Chain A
C-alpha cells in the first residue's frame, strides 16, 4: 500500500517535470513529434528503473557514515558520503552507454531519431535528480527505490508525450511571432503544470 501510494505520488504529484523542472532540456528539444518523444520517455524510464536500485545499494553499503562496517571493525567510522555525486554520475553514465548499444542493435530507427539526445540521457537532470531525492528521502529498501524510479519515469514519459501531442497541433495555429517555438512551449508547460497541481493532496 505504501509503495502504491509512492508510485501514484511520483507520477502525478511529485512529477519530475511539473513539480521540479527536472529533465527540461531534452523535454523541450525532443517534444516535436509524439513517436520520438515516447521513445525517449521509455528510455528514460528504463534508465531510472535500473539506476535507482543500483544507486540505493551503493549509498547504503558504501557511502553513508558507518556503511563500510561489513568490511571489518576498523572501517566502522568511515564516512564516504562526499563521494556520492561522482559515484552516482558514473553509474548513470555507464548505464546510458549500455542502453545506447542495446537500442542501436534492436531498434536502429529509434536510435537515429533520438540522435544526440540518447547519450545526453546521462546528463538528463531527471535521473540524477531522482537519485539525489532518493538519497534525501532515505528509502528503507531497494524495492521502494525501484518503485520511485519507475513512477518518476512514467511521470516524465506522460509529460513529454502530452506536450509532443499538443505541439504537433500547434504548428498550424496563429501564435504571435516572438512567442513561436520556445516561448509558447514554456507557456503550455506552465499551464500543464497548473493543471497537474489539481492532483495535489491525493492519498491512497
Chain B
C-alpha cells in the first residue's frame, strides 16, 4: 500500500474535507470559544484527543455493536472520554476549565464526533480510524485558531494574552474593535473563511 493512501484520512480533513467549513459539523463549540486564542487551543486539543480515542474504541467494537443501539453505545463511549478530559483539565488548569465552562461537556454533543463515528469508525479498522480522528480534530482546530487569531488580534489587540499593537498606536488614536469580541462576529469571520476557501476550491461551490 502506498504511503499517500495510508495517510489520506489524516490530510484530507485539513482542507478539502474540512469538518467545519465543508461538512458543516461542530459549529456550536467552534464559535463560542474563539474570542481568545488560549481557550481555542485547549478546545482543539481536547476535541482531537476525544475524537481519536472514541474513533479507535468504536472501531474496535464495530463488529459487536448491534446497529439498533449504536447511537446509545457511541454516546456512552464519548461521554466517558469527555468526563476524563474534563477531570484532567480541572486538575491541570482550573482557570481555563472555568473559562470554557460548559463547552467541554458539550464535546459529547459535538456533531463532528458523532459524524465521524457514524461515517468512518463503524466501517474501518482502528489505525485508519485513529488517523481520521487526528485529522478531523486538527481540521477543526485550524478553523478555531484562524477565527480566534482574528478575533483576539482585532478585538483585544493581544495574542495569547500578550499585547501585539504597541502603546504608541493607541496614543495615535487606534482603538480595539469591540465588535470582534461579540459572538455574532465569529459567524461572519467563518463566513469569510468559507468564501475564501470556496473561491479557491471551485468544485465545492453550490
Q: Give A21 to B86 CA distance when docked, in angstroms.
A: 21
Contact A190 B188, beta carbon cutoff 8 Å: yes
Q: Give A183 to B194 CA distance when docked, in angstroms.
A: 6
B205 within 8 A of A: yes
- Minimum C-beta distance from A65 to chain B (A): 15
- Minimum C-beta distance from B111 to chain A (A): 4
- Proximity string of chain B (27-62) to chain A, C-beta cutoff 8 Å, 1 when within and 0 when not: 111011000000000000000000000000000000
Q: Which residues of A contact B (CB under 8 A)?
A: 18-25, 28-29, 82, 84-86, 89-90, 93, 119-120, 122-125, 127-129, 132-133, 136, 176-184, 186-187, 189-194, 197
- Minimum C-beta distance from A9 to chain B (A): 16
Contact B108 A24, beta carbon cutoff 8 Å: no
Q: Which residues of B contact A19 (CB under 8 A)?
A: 183
Contact B27 A28, beta carbon cutoff 8 Å: yes
Contact B80 A86, beta carbon cutoff 8 Å: yes
Contact B184 A28, beta carbon cutoff 8 Å: no
| Chain A, interface SS category | helix
The list of the 5 closest CB pairs from A to B, nearest first, reads A193-B184, A190-B187, A178-B198, A186-B191, A132-B102
B162 within 8 A of A: no
Contact B79 A85, beta carbon cutoff 8 Å: yes
Q: Give A20 to B102 CA distance when docked, in angstroms.
A: 10
| Chain B, interface SS category | helix
Q: Give A124 to B72 CA distance when docked, in angstroms.
A: 14
- Minimum C-beta distance from B188 to chain A (A): 4
Q: Which residues of A contact B86 (CB under 8 A)?
A: 85
B83 within 8 A of A: yes
Q: Which residues of B contact A177 (CB under 8 A)?
A: 198, 205
- 20 A-B pairs, CB-CB below 8 angstroms? A20-B32, A22-B32, A25-B24, A85-B79, A85-B105, A85-B108, A89-B108, A120-B114, A124-B109, A125-B29, A125-B110, A127-B109, A128-B108, A136-B101, A177-B198, A181-B206, A187-B191, A190-B186, A191-B188, A197-B184
Across the interface, name the chain A residue whose C-beta is closest to B106. Answer: A125
Contact A21 B194, beta carbon cutoff 8 Å: no
- Minimum C-beta distance from B194 to chain A (A): 4
- Proximity string of chain B (16-27) to chain A, C-beta cutoff 8 Å, 1 when within and 0 when not: 000001001111
- Minimum C-beta distance from A167 to chain B (A): 13
- Do A21 and B109 form a contact, CB below 8 Å, given A82-B83, A190-B188? no
Q: Which residues of A contact B111 (CB under 8 A)?
A: 25, 123
- Minimum C-beta distance from A14 to chain B (A): 11
Q: Which residues of A contact B28 (CB under 8 A)?
A: 21-25, 125, 129
Contact B194 A125, beta carbon cutoff 8 Å: no
Contact A183 B79, beta carbon cutoff 8 Å: no
Q: Give A176 to B206 CA distance when docked, in angstroms.
A: 11
- Proximity string of chain B (180-206) to chain A, C-beta cutoff 8 Å, 1 when within and 0 when not: 001111111011001111110000011
Contact B109 A182, beta carbon cutoff 8 Å: no
Contact B27 A21, beta carbon cutoff 8 Å: yes
B76 within 8 A of A: yes
Q: Give A101 to B50 CA distance when docked, in angstroms.
A: 31
- Minimum C-beta distance from B206 to chain A (A): 4
Contact A128 B188, beta carbon cutoff 8 Å: no
* 9 further A-B pairs in the complex, CB-CB below 8 A; given A21-B31, A90-B75, A190-B191: A24-B27, A24-B31, A28-B24, A90-B76, A93-B72, A125-B28, A129-B109, A190-B184, A197-B184
